[in-house]
Amino acid sequence: MGEKEQKLDFNSMFKKVDYRINYVPIDSRVRTSRWGDHRYTSGVVKDFTLEEIEEIIRCGDIISLRELSRYYYRTNGRYRNSIDFLATLPLYDTIVTPIYESGKGSKTQIIKAFYNACSFVEALDVKNTLIRITREWLKSGVYFGIL
């Protein structure tokens, strides 16, 4: 018996595993819900006082206004429902229209190109993507994306 017997300490093993699982840099934590992805910029959720809200609105600091808007989206049902309503109001329908030029391509080539275009548009998931983009745009007041 030259080997040391290692005693299993479940508490310390659990703490090590829990630390490895839950230790994620704060700025990369993402919570997914039915309203989309929510990225937290800090581990602490800040509550605002009435004086702070008035000061943020009065001074017009963009970063604070965005933080306040996200706070209201998280905590106020009417605000969240209004933003969700405005984000889902447009239908975001897509139409793929084949353009036929006489003398270019056969009927099977046009049908195949049309099918490929339809498959590409379906893979984009335009409706859900644009709803998510519009919701984030309404919350933060700015759109970072491709038009």
Task: Render pLDDT for 4-39 as a digit per residue (tens, 0 to 9).
Answer: 545 555 556 555 555 544 444 444 444 555 455 555
- Report which of 128, 141, 144, 122 is spatially closest to residue 32, judged by C-alpha positions: 128
Question: Which of 70 and 46 is assigned the larger pLDDT?
Answer: 70
116 falls in which pLDDT band (50, 70, 90)?
very high
The whole-number pLDDT of residue 84 equals 92
* Helix and strand counts by DSSP (H, E) for the chain: 6, 2
- As a whole number, mean pLDDT of residues 49-60 equals 89
